[in-house]
Amino acid sequence: MGGRLRVRPDKNVFLLYAMLNALGLARGHPDSHLLRRRAVDHFQGYSGVGLKQDDYGHHSKPVVYVLTLNDAPDFSEKQGLTLHSCMRREVEIGRVVLPHLEHFYQHTDFEDFYQKALPRYADECEFLQGIVDRADIGDLLDNVWEVDRPFNMEVIPMPLEGIHSGIGPSVGDTDYQIVGPPFDFGILHLVAHEGSHPRAKRVLEPFVDEIASRSHLLQHALVQPNYPDSYNHWPTCFEEHFVRAMQAGYIDPSIGVDSDVENRLRREEKGNGMVFIRDFYEEIRKHKANPTGSLKDVALRVLDRLDQYNAQPPIHHS
How far apart are alpha carbons 283 and 305 in whole angstroms? 9
How far apart are alpha carbons 221 and 269 in whole angstroms? 10
How far apart are alpha carbons 167 and 191 in whole angstroms? 9
How far apart are alpha carbons 15 and 63 in whole angstroms? 10
How many angstroms separate the Cα of 85 from the Cα of each of 160, 170, 171, 193, 201? 29, 11, 11, 22, 12
- Residue ranges, the chain, pLDDT below 70: 1-4, 317-318
pTM for this entry: 0.80
Q: What pLDDT sits at residue 11?
A: 98
Q: What pLDDT sits at residue 2?
A: 46
Residues 56, 160 contacting (CB under 8 angstroms): no
Residues 31, 117 contacting (CB under 8 angstroms): no
Label the pairing between strands 6-7 and 152-157. Answer: parallel
How far apart are alpha carbons 194 and 189 in whole angstroms? 9
Residues 314, 278 contacting (CB under 8 angstroms): no
How far apart are alpha carbons 141 and 133 in whole angstroms? 13
Question: Closest Cα to residue 166, out of 247, 271, 63?
Answer: 63
